[in-house]
Amino acid sequence: MSNIRLFFPENLSLNLTAKLDKSQSHYVSKVMRVKVDETFSLFNSSGEWTTKINEISKGIVEFTVIKHLRSKENPKEIWLAFSPIKSNYFNFMIQKSTELGITKFLPIIFERTIVRKINKQRLEKVIIEAAEQSNRIYVPIIEKPQNLKSFLSKNKNKMNLIFTDLNSKNKKLDLNKLTNKPICIIIGPEGDFSEVEREEILSYEGVNSIKINKNILRSETAAISAISIISYFTNL
């Protein structure tokens, strides 16, 4: 079997015959040069499956599912709440955060956020490609942008909020504060949180404030660092 694994949005089951879309067909047959009767894997939230190519007609790959490889994942939920940033750095942050196990992305428009719109379709593509590359089955979701007040209100009592705050005196997580609710790491904009925003976040019940580095980090660096540190200490 080739080492190709692709996300397939439709239901998969043993002996199912279906077709890849034009883009995936091109990748499999032209870029990776997989031939008829050769195999590759497909995955989605239901699990991962081995498929065999039946034919390649007019550039479209038809396949049949021949083996179930893995069942669906039930990952511990870890969310990333963040300020949108410039495109190239944004893609990098989303890609690496997906590889590190984030299950939900929550874009927040802070007072000092510079980039106030996101290309959700493009970011979803980045997420899928990162999940394919990192051997994940679960593909993280990304929500529409919202303001801080809306984010805190909608998720009241629904998460363990971890506030990465340069002004915090805490250098370690208070693990005793954590419950079985999803963990949500909140990263500030390039211009940092305003004092009003800092107070709003610190007033969230059970919030864990932590200083992850003595230096001022770029948003994408802060996100990757925080996810890695917090995942280590919480054994995610």
Structural tokens at position 182? 């999803």
Angstrom distances, CA of residue 197 to CA of 57, 201, 206? 56, 6, 16
Reported as a single tens digit per residue, the pLDDT across 22-39 is: 999 999 999 999 999 999
Q: Return the ∠ at Cα 106 (arms to 105 and 108), rounded to 5°.
A: 145
In a shared domain, residues 226 and 167: yes
Q: Return the ∠ at Cα 12 (arms to 10 and 18), rounded to 5°.
A: 75
In a shared domain, residues 93 and 155: yes
The conformation of residue 175, written as its DSSP 8-state character, comes to: G
Reported as a single tens digit per residue, the pLDDT across 104-138 is: 999 999 999 999 999 999 999 999 999 999 999 99
Query: For residue 113, which amino acid is it?
Result: T
What number of other Cβ atoms are within 10 A of residue 77's Cβ? 19
- How many independent structural domains does the chain possess? 2
In a shared domain, residues 202 and 148: yes
Structural tokens at position 234? 């919480």
Which pTM was predicted? 0.91
Work out the average pLDDT over 4-22: 96
Q: What is the extent of the structural domain holding 46?
A: 5-71
| Phi and psi torsions of 79, nearest 5° | -105, 155
